[in-house]
Structure 1
Amino acid sequence: FSDLAGLAGRRPALAAALAVFLISLTGIPVSAGFVGKFYLFTAAVNGGYVSLALVGVLMSVVSAYYYLGVVVSMYMRDPVGEDAWGPVGAMSGLALAVSVVVVLGLGIYPGPVLAWARLAAQSLL
């Protein structure tokens, strides 16, 4: 994580976006990753695959250790060496901002997308 150490001090917006994405991958509530994992594990339990759901939850805890380690490195460590990151272009910045809004938006209000997914799944049955 040394190349990300202190990123929050050098590039706060980039660090915040990466933190949101890593938190979503971890499956922490208020993120799209939580909604996805919740429905996945619920479907596994409802399908009788409780042991598989437990393994999934356990692996989520293991992944949280690694993902949150990156966040800690970005926010709690001093920078090591020079800033090797090039400038973020306008379109890349826009793509990051839209992605952050979508990840948080789907975590806060997943209803419309879930309704669309149910409709799509029903058409396959």
Structure 2
Amino acid sequence: MATLPLNVNHLVVLAAVVEHGGYTRAAEAMGVSQPSISQQMRDLERTCGLPLVRQRGRRLEATHLGTELAALGRRIGLDAERGARLVAEHAAGLAGKVPVGASMTTAAYYVPRALV
């Protein structure tokens, strides 16, 4: 089975283009330039060898393949955000395990109240 060298960043860009209906709004939402979005979309369509979006009036609309790849891009983007949050929480000491030692009486009566 042949595989295409899909760039996950391009899939995230495709998801933004589909969600926002165009390159300019996607670029604004992502905080990048519109030419950067256009180039990444050209690269992705060239890699796939098929169109992923088409013009519908003033908006871009995903093709069937574009819709499926955009869904992958959304999931990748969400997972990347989740990963970044995990790193930030661990770096700030807000995540992880904290061992607590206590006698049976303290563990039964005081620790639950302290954790709430």
TM-score band w.r.t. shorter chain: 0.3 to 0.5
Which structure is larger by alpha-carbon Rg, 1 or 2? 2
Q: TM-score, normalised by structure 1?
A: 0.31
Q: TM-score, normalised by structure 2?
A: 0.33
More strand by share: 2
Higher relative contact order (CA 8 A, sep 6+): 1
